A and B are shown apart, each in its own frame.
Chain A
Amino acid sequence: SAVISQKPSRDICQRGTSLTIQCQVDSQVTMMFWYRQQPGQSLTLIATANQGSEATYESGFVIDKFPISRPNLTFSTLTVSNMSPEDSSIYLCSARTGTSGNTIYFGEGSWLTVV
């Protein structure tokens, strides 16, 4: 199984600021994704992080608000820009490994609170 590490694990952020979340996988993976889990809610896919090209965003999410980078096959970042209290959520990175069939693993999440 893949081990996925996220940083920071938790943070309290000021309104109007931006925060970058890092996601590191312990092996090369074909696909990486970013999800948001608002308080008490299920998970919603934000975007697919494409290696070497722009991320592919789901409906309702835009690059200006959630810029994503993926410089190589093991690492990605998600920035939450110009934060408001509505952005208080858990942000989770996931990766699909090619060696264990169609299995998608998740990081432990980054718990952001915007005040």
Chain B
Amino acid sequence: GNSVTQMEGPVTLSEEAFLTINCTYTATGYPSLFWYVQYPGEGLQLLLKATKADDKGSNKGFEATYRKETTSFHLEKGSVQVSDSAVYFCALDAGGTSYGKLTFGQGTILTVHP
């Protein structure tokens, strides 16, 4: 079946540090890939997405590139801020009969200190 694996957290960084959160997936075919963010006490917000191999999704300084050869979709940001502290979820939509249904990774808690 489909699965998403995120790097173990929590991740603690100082402000302006470089961020990488690893995400790898298992799926048949050509899934769409997503990063969602959940700020404390809030719901889920779409951060970025990529729908085909080599696509780069980007938003708010975050980037992730869809790498089919390594089945990965790592999230990066060059300089994090305290306001980026949140839980980050990698997810895939396998399409086909599962179109629209998301499989989520376990989430990575990010804490950024001033």
Chain A residues whose CB sits within 8 angstroms of the CB of B100 once the complex forms:
30-31, 33, 48, 96, 102, 104
The reply on B62 being an interface residue by CB < 8 A is: no
How many chain A residues sit at the interface, stated as a range, is: 20 to 34
**Residue of A6, A31, A42, A107 most packed against chain B (CB within 10 A):** A42
Q: How many A-B residue pairs have CB under 8 A?
A: 58
**Chain A: minimal CB distance from B44 (Å):** 4
The answer to whether A42 and B106 touch (CB under 8 A), given A102-B32, A102-B93, is yes
- A104 with B34: CB separation less than 8 A: yes
Chain B residues whose CB sits within 8 angstroms of the CB of A60 once the complex forms:
none
The reply on B89 being an interface residue by CB < 8 A is: yes
Chain A residues whose CB sits within 8 angstroms of the CB of B49 once the complex forms:
102-103
Q: Interface residues of A: mostly helix, strand, loop or mixed?
A: strand
Known pairs A43-B102, A103-B49, A108-B42; list 19 more (Cβ under 8 Å): A6-B43, A30-B100, A31-B99, A31-B100, A33-B100, A33-B101, A33-B102, A35-B102, A41-B107, A43-B104, A92-B44, A96-B99, A102-B51, A102-B93, A103-B46, A104-B34, A104-B100, A106-B45, A109-B43
23 contacts between A and B (CB under 8 A): A31-B99, A33-B100, A33-B101, A33-B102, A41-B106, A42-B89, A42-B106, A42-B107, A43-B44, A43-B89, A44-B104, A92-B43, A96-B99, A102-B49, A102-B51, A102-B93, A102-B95, A103-B46, A104-B46, A104-B93, A104-B100, A105-B46, A109-B42
